[in-house]
Structure 1
């Protein structure tokens, strides 16, 4: 489940991710990004992740469609989580072209926001 959080930065979508991401979650994020950033404005993602279950196949496919559509808009992706496997996944994501991904532990939320707001 995705839940939008108040953002500390106008160029950043803040989201809490818990449980199992679904197709509906991906569609909700895409609609929000469309309203906030159209199809051409760059934006960041601040994601607090807790107890993430494996997504449904539908959720994965829809998420991939959203990622492909918005890839050139992604700038920074701050992943906030104490789960070790998410830290490893975030490091792997940082090799993707055009997107900077950084992992922060749960107690480093302010540090994550500072990193996102700092110019690239």
Structure 2
């Protein structure tokens, strides 16, 4: 199988890859090296992948590709656009299903039967500054002041970004360090998911494990139906009192969280 660049372009921040025949481990390693090399040279890049002539991949290549995909998750924020040239219906369907989950990356499939498809794909992938002049984004996590040291409250806005995560993690850890148990209230404001890189945030897993031992009551305001279902399912399993509230029930949520059996302290200043 060959793994080679498309017709050379003058767009330095775009990695162009053409796959054909049988994909091997060496091919996976080759295009992974090329992507990583481009990320070292540029803050953000675009990628064009032509799979028109690709037919299959070896078992070892599948394993290597899965590992490469997971390793690339923390870097996806630096790859805002991926263009794919494909005439394979099953492949296009898979891309269509997965692409909405890549909140920081816009993926678009182009029909290679069109004469201008390759140039359109390159133009799409190269346009990584489409939001450069957009208004400054609101913080995705905001700390809500409380009058109890053993009560932490946050508001989540839309898509949770990795760079905002410390707004929640730092005060949560501090309160857990100072108290035997704490209560938590989270207000959801049009929550739409989170950056994949959050899963690789250092110390996050250990903090979650510690929270399972420290959390007493957990209130979620504005939870979606699936969140409410998950809360009901895990409530008896984790030993935490969890309750969800509609947006117009926020007063009830604060009342419920204030009726926790734990001690009430004034936040130290």
Question: What TM-score do you get using the length of structure 2 for normalisation?
Answer: 0.40
Aligned counterparts of 1:36 and 1:81: Cα–Cα separation in 2: 24
Q: Which residue of 2 aligns with 1:66?
A: 207
Question: Where do 5+ consecutive residues of structure 2 fail to align?
Answer: 1-139, 262-269
Q: Which residue of 2 aligns with 1:114?
A: 255
Aligned counterparts of 2:208 and 2:248: Cα–Cα separation in 1: 28
Higher-Rg member (1/2): 2
Contact (CA 8 Å) 2:149, 2:175: kept in 1 or not?
Answer: no
Q: Which sits farther off after the overlay, 39-48 or 9-18?
A: 39-48
- Secondary structure of the equivalent of 1:7? coil
The CA RMSD measured in Å over matched residues stands at 2.3
Q: Which sits farther off after the overlay, 98-107 or 3-12?
A: 3-12
Q: CA deviation at 1:67?
A: 0.9
Question: Where do 5+ consecutive residues of structure 1 fail to align?
Answer: none
Matching of residues 1-120 of structure 1 within 5 Å:
1-38=140-177, 41-62=180-201, 63-81=204-222, 83-120=224-261
Contact (CA 8 Å) 1:79, 1:90: kept in 2 or not?
Answer: no
Aligned counterparts of 2:223 and 2:260: Cα–Cα separation in 1: 26
Contact (CA 8 Å) 2:143, 2:167: kept in 1 or not?
Answer: no
Aligned counterparts of 1:13 and 1:113: Cα–Cα separation in 2: 12
Aligned counterparts of 2:164 and 2:210: Cα–Cα separation in 1: 16
- Secondary structure of the equivalent of 1:20? strand
Structure number with higher relative contact order (C-alpha < 8 Å, ≥ 6 residues apart) = 1
Query: Would you say how many aligned residue pairs link Structure 1 and Structure 2?
Result: 120
Q: CA deviation at 1:22?
A: 3.4
Aligned counterparts of 1:77 and 1:25: Cα–Cα separation in 2: 21
Question: What TM-score do you get using the length of structure 1 for normalisation?
Answer: 0.80
